[in-house]
Amino acid sequence: MPTLTELAEEALANARRLDAYTAAQGLPLVSLDDDTLTRAELPAELQTTRSALVDSAQMMKRLAQGPLLNMTEMLFSFTDIISIQAIYRYDLPSQVPLTGTASYEDIARAVSLPEGICRRFMVHAMENGIFEEVEGRVKHSAFSRMLAEDREAMQAIGMMVVDLIPAGHRTLDALARWPASCEQTETGFNLAHDTNLPLYAFLSQDPGRISRFGTGMKFFSRGGGFDLKFLVMGFPWAEIDREDALVVDCGGGVGTVSRRLAESTEKMHFVVQDMAGPVALGQQTLPAELQDRVRYEVGDFFAEQKLVGADVYFFRWIFHNWSDAYCVRILRNLVPAMRAHSKVVIYEYILAEEPELKWSRKQGRNLDMVMMAGWNAEERSMSQLSRVFAQADERFVLEGSWQPEGSTMTAISFGWKE
């Protein structure tokens, strides 16, 4: 374990690198008023520097606070949810002008809250960098300005505070009621929302709610380490870029991945399989220049794969939605279609085998808790994923994995031994 001084020196070195880069780009200094590091569009190596700075700072904080203050911070973190729920429910960011200030009185009147209550919500949020107070009035910080200007960001908050956080509150109750369940209908989400339906089926009953969920997911997956450029550059697609090569994009939605890969390759073809709704939308919106290489068909990965002998059966963010038992079913439905040249390529967040004690990697553990609460599913390590493939069929053989610098996601390839 490094000392406080060693952590501080490491943090200082990384902070200087970031300051030097933003200064060279003519950007303002990093502050709560300006999201400089995001606007800087940092190259991959500086994204790594940024993560290392956060990791050092978080570890310094943890060591400096000690067990008692760390416990106190964890236990009172639920109060952050209270104020951010208020931000979402009353749409508080929209009540503050993008430039200038607003009074607490005017904001409270606009959202029909007592001024004292409104002020308490907003001042608490300020402790998290949301809004600022200037001479007794409220102005935007970079954080609150993002919420005011970016609809996807507010929808992401709604998805969490309305749909998923209540599921977390009931997860242990679900485990007590359905011990070791692998079913998507026996989760904290089911108890929290009093439904016998799986999460997506339940949300789909309300068009506005499922739309919010989809928009929130889009927000969390856009840019940064989730950018599809890492999939393009991080897997050897050029090796299979032939006229007769076929990639089957299983559960591929409207074809976001296949379109991106088609744009970055020259010859290979793609079939996007999903339910009827996404397939219809994908067909309607497919650019004309891709129509000779990308096509769509209705498909269910819980049914036997009909496209035999494809070069790649590709799954992005599919396996983490399902427990091991269901992942095995998905893979066994591929077995009749697999040939010696076929690969199954998984694109997922891969957990480390052991705890890493880094804030930048804790996000994967957070996602793992979310998958438990909502789906009875999980994020997996490489060894866990390999066990799932071996359980499905011992002829699946791990070929390798690819995670470019700066990428949150990993591409994992399993070949087939006939």
Kindly list the structural domains of the chain, giving each domain's residue range(s) and its CATH number in brackets, ordered by start. Answer: 1-85 (no CATH), 91-149 (1.10.10.10), 152-216 (no CATH), 224-416 (3.40.50.150)
- Give pLDDT, residue 274: 95
Confidence (pLDDT) at 206: 94
Q: Which of 91, 159, 92 is nearest to 131 (CA)?
A: 92
Answering whether pTM is above 0.95, one says: no
Sequence-ordered list of residues with C-beta below 8 angstroms from that of 88, at least 6 positions apart, any chain: 154, 157, 158, 161, 162
What does the pLDDT read at residue 354?
95
d(CA 212, CA 218): 10
pLDDT at 302: 98
Q: Would you state the pLDDT for residue 40?
A: 84
Low-confidence ranges of the chain (pLDDT < 50): none
**φ, ψ for residue 385, nearest 5 deg:** -65, -40
User: What pLDDT does residue 225 have?
Assistant: 84
334-364 burial, b if ≥16 CB within 10 A, otherwise e? beebbeeebbbbbbbbbbeeeeeebbbbeeb
Angle at 22 between CA 17 and CA 25, to 5 degrees: 130
Contact 254, 281 (CB under 8 A): yes
